Structure 1
Amino acid sequence: MWQKYLIGVIAAGSMAGALADAPLTVAWREKPPYYYFENGVAKGFMLERAKQVFAAAGVPARFVNEPQKRIWANFSHGLQNYCSISWYRLPEREAVAQYSLPVHADQPHAVLAVPSVVARIKSHPNLKSLLADKSLTLGVIDGVSYGPELDALIAGSENRIMRRTVETSAMFRMVAFGRADFLFVDREDWNYLRLKYPELQMLVLIDFADMPQGLKRHIVCSRDVPAETMERLNRAILARNDTPRR
């Protein structure tokens, strides 16, 4: 009996060791210019930064492209040896994953609008007033976070909401084609997509003084990833001169 028990312990230990030695699967979603495919080649400034961090940390990694909802379903279901880049810190996400130090700090969002409603949007003194305007239609990408503050404002908005599960570029084009009046835009997205899609150049970027500060993005990993591995990633992140420390 004890021999079977001993064999079981050895087998379990071998499996655990093999899992620990295996490269981490690091998932990224399609979000140009952060990470995207161009002619079948994976590109993006955040994808390159993440690869540099894992390499500098000496942590083997296999990078894969997966949809956002699948990524967070994997974390929720306890998929092991799994990480993803780069995400805002939100309570519901912290419940299922562990966070690195920040790898990037966003600029504040802006409002992107069709020309016909620019005067109406600019007549609002703040975001609260804008989101109380029942005559305007706000485009929202379903399943993504605009940050805790904007998420809460959108949830309480009195605008008509056009919510779609689409890529960022598709939502931009929907607004350009009049399906919605405005949306909240990540400036990195806008600076990239307005050059890629000429039909977007008629849209107007509008700043609001009370727009929440840009959030920090982190590498997130499954709970089974060892603390020592997370520390190695954090040391590699801190070694970058252009990375915020908190």
Structure 2
Amino acid sequence: MKFALLLATPLQLAATLAFAAPPITVAWSEKPPYYYIEDGMDKGFMLAYGKTVFAAAGIDASFVREPQKRIWSRFRTGTRNYCSIGWYHLAERTAIAQYSLPIYTDPSQMVLIAPKSVAQVQAHATLASMLADPTLTLGLLDGSSYGAELDARIKDSANRKMLSSVNSVGMMQMVAADRVSYMLSDRTDWNYTRIRHRSLDNVVQYEVPDVPPGLKRHIVCSKDIPAATMEKLNQAIRITPKPVPQER
């Protein structure tokens, strides 16, 4: 009897290991300085924060780089055991994903103008006026949201719209090359990128008063992630210092 009891412990351990939950896949999309690869290494202030939060929550996670459109395609098709870092809260997305507490608040968006379009764009003192001009071409990141309010205003805009699957740096380069008249840019992206890409020296930063305040970002997870796991994440978010952008 004692021998059987002694055997029970390793058998139980083996069974526990066999049925241990696989690590959660946590996807991120290239967006320097939030998340990016440099010299073959994963970097970025938001990516580092995400890894810290999952570790603090005691949640085993595997971090992978994926395009934005693929990430949201996975949520729509019901990929299980899946999360992603740093997304705005949009009402239509709550049907396919669950949101953590906020992890970061963006600064407000800004306008970046192509060299040959400076006078034409700066003839408009507000974003509303700019969006009403059918002679302007607005560069947009395909698959990205600019927040519910800006998304709606862009949808109703009279501008020509050029959608591109490039990341934010690629769109800035399209502005510099006069392929579009202007773009709306994350201020953190611009402050980081402009000092690393001299080809952007001819891009003009322009401030308008009617841009909405910066939005909060969250960790989003597939609907099958248990409530207890989401609470572990939220508790880790409560106790972990908020991320700070790297701009230089």
Q: Which residue in the other structure is 1:4 paired with?
A: none
Residue type of the alignment partner of 2:72: W
- Total equivalences in the alignment: 228
Q: Using the TM superposition, give the Cα deviation of residue 209 of structure 1 relative to its aligned residue in structure 2, in angstroms.
A: 1.0
Q: Partner residue of 1:57?
A: 57
- Tell me which amino acid in the other structure corresponds to 2:156: G
Give the C-alpha shift of residue 128 in structure 1. 1.2
TM-score w.r.t. length of structure 1: 0.88
1:196 corresponds to 2:210: no
Q: For the residues of structure 1 that align with 2:170 and 2:116, how far apart are their CA atoms? A: 20
Deviation at 1:186, TM superposition (A): 0.3
Counterparts of 1:153 and 1:187, CA distance in 2:
19
1:35-184 equivalences in 2 (<5 Å): 35-184=35-184
| Structure 2: 5+ residue stretches without partners | 1-14, 244-248
Q: CA RMSD in A?
A: 1.7
Match of 2:229 in 1: 229
Q: Distance in 2 between matches of 1:114 and 1:141?
A: 16
Residue 21 of structure 1: how far off its partner (Å): 1.9
Q: Deviations over 1:48-70 (max 9, x none)?
A: 00001011111111101111111
State the SS of the aligned residue for 2:158.
Answer: coil
**Structure 2 counterpart SS, 1:116:** helix
Give the Cα–Cα distance (whole angstroms) in 2 for the partners of residues 70 and 218 of structure 1: 18
1:210 and 2:195 matched: no
Contact 2:112 2:182 in 1 (8 A): yes
Number of the residue aligned with 2:12 = none
1:24 pairs with 2:24: yes
Contact 2:133 2:158 in 1 (8 A): yes
Q: Is the 8 A contact 2:37 2:43 kept in 1?
A: yes
SS at match of 1:140: strand
Letter in 2 for 1:199: S
Identity %: 54
Q: Which secondary structure does the structure 1 equivalent of 2:52 belong to?
A: helix
2:194 partner SS: helix
Question: What is the rounded CA distance, in whole Å, between the counterparts of 1:67 and 1:120 in structure 2?
Answer: 33
Per the TM alignment, residue 122 of structure 1 is displaced from its structure 2 partner at its CA by 2.8
In the other structure, the counterpart of 1:3 is none
More deviation, 221-230/161-170: 161-170
Q: Which amino acid aligns with 1:230?
A: M
1:21 partner SS: coil
The Cα offsets for residues 79-99 of structure 1, whole Å up to 9 and x where unpaired, read as 111101110111221110100
Deviation at 1:227, TM superposition (A): 0.5
Distance 2:23 2:220 in 1: 15
1:241 offset after TM fit, Å? 4.2
CA deviations 1:161-199 (Å, max 9, x no partner) are 122121211111111011011000001111121122111
CA deviation after TM superposition for structure 1 residue 149, in Å: 1.0
Mapped to 1, the partners of 2:130 and 2:188 lie a distance apart of 23
For residue 99 of structure 1, what is the amino acid of its counterpart? Y
